Chains A and B, each alone.
Chain A
């Protein structure tokens, strides 16, 4: 059975032109699953609409 993230990985790899060999896929998938879990934790935190990102740039 295909892993749930595999179609997404294939689609993004295609869009970005990233070669991903089948042998690497379990490791990429595992890393992506951890990252998305971390990102979800941040995503769930309510922030005011006015919140500025903290990226650094000064004109």
Chain B
């Protein structure tokens, strides 16, 4: 559809990317544009580009229009509206959305009854004025780093549609990277927010474990499951994060901490922060692009030293073991009754996970306690750790191996090697995009537990310095 030339400049930048959520919300609240016009712009973008990107599995157009009209009516009657007024967003299809079965990337879950209530985070985003426009493609049951879905087809990278989005929140990465929507939500168990952020050239926040409620989302690994936002700027990331914070008795792991808003803190000086680069393990198995991305970030931040985290390879191994076992436990009945309805590759990983002897899992959880204590000790000496988000730019769709330092390695198993040891102990991370040409790649800004504010401030400083940015995808 043809957008109104008067409203378009309030919604999109000249390069076609979305304007910042805060600007859209201000324009909506000031009645310069209607929430309905913004919603129609998002729906038009989705209709035009999703046939190629395959980011969406459901477009909730009727609901979105109804929500937008209600918001416009509230504004017309003089009511105050939230900081995301009229801003479209979409969610990975493991979030409950009223009226949809929560498929979690699977064929099996399509037989579940339709959800009768939205996930907590969807409710909180809409309470802040955001408008849900749909549910997004993902790797089956989130056991994935590629964004390739066996049942729904692969989500495609907007910077090169022959490449992966990364997973498992692949549709979230593609939808924001391709400017179909300015904001999306996803989940991260071992890297599933940070990997698509890296491959699709956008910002992603994996908060501290327990910070954001997971109520009414489909789980994967209870020990490591996190939910969080994707955006095209740090401020948008912070705005959505702030809108979603707060205790929730319906998620047993959700912290009772009070809301700690970060948006107003973004511009604080970072000169006093002690920042180090992760050395050793995190300097290995990197393609030149990943090395370049880390180098640009550390140079901009004046980082002069590497910092060694202890036993990182073992931490990654323990995360791997706990993931496969908790995943297998979750799906045990489905493995018994509907094994042929899984993606065969996911099924076989889960079947193997069901066979790991229990003492090895207990030892992995004990190692996790040890590793956590050691890393927390290190945070007495540093405030921020810089590490690569992925070893490479987005691989080609279907690519099974890559050659690194002369050694052929499996792609799927190695995409998350730098993210897994961090989510293993629930540290907050902002994935920031370094706009290399032709493909962007991300870097992790890691902080101590509950210090999302610090990671976001560093990300904001890098963004203002022009070192990191979400590049506009040509043709989208």
Give every chain B residue within 8 A of A51 (Cβ-Cβ): 366, 369-370
Q: Is the CB–CB distance between A24 and B253 below 8 Å?
A: no
Give every chain A residue within 8 A of B313 (Cβ-Cβ): 41
Q: Is the CB–CB distance between B366 and A47 below 8 Å?
A: yes
Q: Within residues 316 to 331 of chain B, which ones have a CB less than 8 A from any CB in chain A?
A: 317-318, 320-321, 324
Give every chain A residue within 8 A of B253 (Cβ-Cβ): 56
Give every chain B residue within 8 A of A42 (Cβ-Cβ): 314, 317-318, 321, 360, 363-364, 367
Give every chain B residue within 8 A of A9 (Cβ-Cβ): 355
Which residue of chain B has its CB nearest to the CB of A23? Answer: B344
Known: A27-B344, A56-B253. A38 touches B320 (CB 8 A): yes
Q: Is the CB–CB distance between B366 and A53 below 8 Å?
A: yes
Q: Is the CB–CB distance between B321 and A18 below 8 Å?
A: no
Give every chain A residue within 8 A of B425 (Cβ-Cβ): 54
> 3 tightest CB-CB pairs across the interface, nearest first?
A31-B352, A53-B365, A38-B317
In-complex Cβ contact of A24 among B311, B314, B351 (8 A): B351
A31 to B356, CA, bound (A): 11
Give every chain A residue within 8 A of B365 (Cβ-Cβ): 53-55
Known: A27-B348, A45-B311. A53 touches B362 (CB 8 A): yes
Interface 1/0s, chain A 6-43, versus B by CB < 8 A? 00110011001111100010011101101110110111
B residues lining the A interface (CB < 8 Å): 210, 222-223, 252-253, 311, 313-314, 317-318, 320-321, 324, 332, 335-336, 339, 344-345, 347-349, 351-356, 360-370, 372, 413, 425
Give every chain A residue within 8 A of B348 (Cβ-Cβ): 24, 27-28, 31
Taking the complex as formed, is A52 at the interface, i.e. its CB lies under 8 A from any CB of chain B? yes
* B321 CB to nearest chain A CB (Å): 5
Which residue of chain A has its CB nearest to the CB of B353? Answer: A35
In-complex Cβ contact of A54 among B321, B360, B366 (8 A): B366
Give every chain B residue within 8 A of A39 (Cβ-Cβ): 317, 321, 356, 360-361, 363-364
In-complex Cβ contact of A18 among B335, B344, B368 (8 A): B335
A32 to B339, CA, bound (A): 17
* B317 CB to nearest chain A CB (Å): 4
Give 12 pairs: A residue, B residue, CB < 8 Å, sorted on A.
A18-B332, A18-B336, A19-B339, A24-B347, A28-B351, A38-B318, A41-B314, A42-B321, A51-B369, A51-B370, A54-B372, A55-B223
* A50 CB to nearest chain B CB (Å): 10
Q: Is the CB–CB distance between B368 and A16 below 8 Å?
A: no
Known: A17-B336, A28-B348. 18 other contacts (CB 8 A): A12-B354, A13-B355, A18-B332, A18-B336, A18-B339, A18-B351, A20-B351, A35-B320, A35-B352, A39-B321, A39-B356, A42-B318, A43-B360, A47-B370, A51-B370, A53-B365, A54-B366, A56-B223
Give every chain B residue within 8 A of A12 (Cβ-Cβ): 354-355
Q: Is the CB–CB distance between A53 and B369 below 8 Å?
A: yes
In-complex Cβ contact of A35 among B311, B321, B368, B369 (8 A): B321
A45 to B370, CA, bound (A): 11
* B189 CB to nearest chain A CB (Å): 14
Q: Is the CB–CB distance between B362 and A18 below 8 Å?
A: no
Q: Is the CB–CB distance between A54 and B369 below 8 Å?
A: yes
A47 to B359, CA, bound (A): 13
Known: A20-B351, A27-B348. A35 touches B366 (CB 8 A): no
* B51 CB to nearest chain A CB (Å): 33
Give every chain B residue within 8 A of A32 (Cβ-Cβ): 352, 355-356
Give every chain A residue within 8 A of B362 (Cβ-Cβ): 53
A16 to B353, CA, bound (A): 12
Q: Is the CB–CB distance between A54 and B368 below 8 Å?
A: yes
Q: Is the CB–CB distance between A53 and B368 below 8 Å?
A: yes
Give every chain A residue within 8 A of B347 (Cβ-Cβ): 24
Which residue of chain B has its CB nearest to the CB of A27? Answer: B348
A53 to B365, CA, bound (A): 5
* B328 CB to nearest chain A CB (Å): 9
A31 to B353, CA, bound (A): 8
Q: Is the CB–CB distance between A45 and B352 below 8 Å?
A: no
Q: Is the CB–CB distance between A36 and B356 below 8 Å?
A: yes
A43 to B321, CA, bound (A): 11
A56 to B369, CA, bound (A): 11
A31 to B313, CA, bound (A): 18
Which residue of chain A has its CB nearest to the CB of B320? Answer: A38
Give every chain B residue within 8 A of A43 (Cβ-Cβ): 360, 363
A24 to B340, CA, bound (A): 11
In-complex Cβ contact of B344 among A24, A34, A35 (8 A): A24
A17 to B367, CA, bound (A): 30
